[in-house]
């Protein structure tokens, strides 16, 4: 028996319901989120490369002097793989999109309800 794969999700819909006020629906196209993460990933990759090159330049320049406080934060940022984290998030969104329609987040309180759905 053939099973049909679910249709890809195209929208992230955030719905906020307050019992005393009206309901808010915020539709976000999934492809916009994917493209945004890919663009930010490219910018982060370029920033990482620039920081690595400036760190090497500063090491050569400050060989005789003590390391300053501003080079310490630069070394900390060089160690963080920001572009790899953004790539993982982009992959997660891509995989969630292939699952089809489902509710990702459901938060309910006495006064407010928040739902995040994939459609």
In this structure, the number of other CB atoms found within 10 A of the CB of residue 8 comes to 14
In Å, what is the CA distance from 37 to each residue of 16, 33, 81, 88?
A: 25, 6, 15, 10
- 0.75 surpassed by pTM: no
In Å, what is the CA distance from 10 to each residue of 1, 18, 32, 94?
A: 28, 26, 10, 11
Q: At 7, is the secondary structure helix, strand, or coil?
A: coil
pLDDT tens track, the chain, 119 positions: 567 777 889 999 999 999 888 899 999 999 999 999 999 999 988 988 887 777 665 555 554 455 555 566 666 666 778 888 888 999 999 998 888 899 999 999 998 999 999 99
Assess contact for 24 and 5: CB atoms under 8 A.
no
């Amino acid at each position: 028996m053939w099973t049909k794969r679910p249709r890809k999700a195209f929208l992230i819909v955030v719905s906020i319901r307050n019992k005393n006020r009206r309901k808010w629906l915020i539709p976000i196209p999934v492809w916009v989120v994917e493209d945004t993460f890919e663009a930010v990933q490219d910018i982060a990759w370029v920033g990482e490369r620039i920081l690595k090159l400036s760190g090497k330049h500063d090491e050569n320049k400050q060989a005789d002097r003590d390391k300053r406080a501003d080079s310490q934060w630069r070394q900390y940022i060089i160690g963080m793989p920001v572009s790899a984290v953004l790539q993982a998030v982009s992959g997660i969104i891509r995989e969630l999109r292939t699952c089809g329609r489902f509710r990702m987040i459901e938060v309910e309180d006495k006064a407010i309800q928040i739902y995040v759905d994939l459609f």
